[in-house]
Chain A
Amino acid sequence: MKNIFHKCFAALFAATILFSASSCSESPSTSPTPEPVASDGGKLRLEFDNVVGDKNLVLNGVTYKNASGEDFIVTKFNYFISNIKLTKADGSIFTVPQDSSYFLIKEDTKASQFVTLNNVPVGDYTAVEFMVGVDSLRNTSPIEKRQGVLDPSGSMMEDGMYWAWNSGYIFVKLEGSSSKGNPVNGKFYYHIGLFGGYNERTVNNTRIIKVNFGTLKAPVTLSQTPEVHFLVDVLKVFDGAATNIKIAEYNSIMGGQPEKSQQIANNYLNMFTLDHIH
């Protein structure tokens, strides 16, 4: 009791209402880690708009066709975006702090497709870089560093993005059905992970995406939040420069086929295109 009184009276003497209010609101009951102070904090939003070629992606309904002429319906499309860096017109780079730089984009959850970056220094941005997947450092971090979308508790049968038996995150999860799907239920399952291995080198399916805004720019001001709108093309998961993945040949690609999963990773490297900035 006494301490609090002292604190309040001290605040009273310290001139402004604003100060006294803010000092008291920082009660010991708030979280132990202080919120970073938004010194020159603007915001920038990245939108990940999932599409199939020139069509919008609709889950569980619309039939699409890949370059191999195979029909398919998408039932699930989730992926991790992490390690975001923004480049200013003057060439300086703003790196989103590690702990705030992991996002799980899920087609069935609209809100997840809008990634809002806070405390972005004011300025005109001309390029963005991010990783598809979760870097090896975070893949081997202690459990206290695995909060929120990185919590390993998620179920594999649902939206889980973590392999419990071969510890590591799934970076991209694409599931659907097709006349070329597996003979049991007609489905195909692509769960792409593998971060390079804990103490022995394995395939690394993280991919760095760099998108230059070209003639466009994203002006961050204290009042204005530019939105960088990406199209993310499911077709590119199948159809790549080097390899077309055929559902008829591979109705399941997971951790057990590292080389095949690597081909998909090489494909999804190219699934992002900048549509517009507003």
Chain B
Amino acid sequence: MATAQELRAKAKQRQIMIQSALIVFSLTILWVAVSNAQSNLTRLNMTSGFAFLDRGTGWDYSFSLIDRDINDRYSYTLFVGFLNTVFVGFICIVTTTFFGFIIGTLRDAQHPALRFAANVYVQIFRNIPLILQAVFLYALLIHLGGPRQAISIADVAFLSGRGMMLPGLNISATVAISLVLASILFGIVLLCTKITMWRGLLVWCCGSVLVALVVALIVKPAGESVFSVPVLQGLRFQGGINLPIELLAMILSITLYGSAYIAEIVRGGLNQVPRGLVEAGQALGLTRMSIWTRIKVPMALRSIIPPLGNQWIFMMKATTIGIAIGFSDLFYITVTSISQSGQTLELIMLLMLTFLAINYAIALFTNWLNTRMKLKEN
């Protein structure tokens, strides 16, 4: 008859056995995979290593935030892809969250017509695959026609099958990017202070616009206006800000799809706010708007933020549909690099590491947001 101690010791031993077996198993798999890869590479006579990153690519792509040239090195081109992915992902996170909150609130509204319309929207856009929506929307957009048939909005903005031309400040791309970065930094600083959400937003928007205007006034070339308005010249518009149609299709389709998802998350969160609190607000004579901003949203946020963070990560990953519509996101650049350079393993590894890093950063941010919300409770 074994004593309890012996049994416990036995169980412990078994646990150690299982765990070491798992470790040995994973290491073996790893070793087998690596040795196979090595021998396959030699057998197929393929070169490996990261030397190709220093070579020029020789090809061009549809969209870049920073200057580009066909002689750029692979490392630089991949970095452009990374920037594009982060850029589109960030914009989509902002737009989907914004529209998601509006539609989610409408779905929770008392008014049946608003609820119905929001429901129709959610049911349509949530139940069709994102990539199909993107491809469909892209096909519709490019059929808008060339620059000469562009739809003019008050003669300062134009929409055509090539993209959207908007009036902008008369500054170079580098200055523009530094301004955006400065604005983001400003936003982060504001987040760290104790300023309330709505006032913070106001300060951030006004501050950013003001700084941009002042900078534009200082750096503008002598004799030119502060604003640059697109003008049709030859085959394309010149001046202003050019948003290629691929970028528009990406942002629009991800926004349509993602905001339907976030609307559901928001509705779920709002639903969980105890009725009594809302009624208390009504008894105090608060308007609907203040009940929403001061009671419902702050209370709902705590249950909204964790799934919202997952949705944000999804947005980042969703940028990989760019390849289906010719938008040069990181995945597209990686795939093209693979077929042009043949360095499959190295490029896929870089791609995966980058996505892990981006998503880890988002997860950290949501955790931080979550704890901040929780602290406020006390």
Question: Are chains A and B native binding partners rather than an unrelated pairing?
Answer: no
**Residues on B close to A: CB < 8 A?**
none
**Residues on A close to B: CB < 8 A?**
none
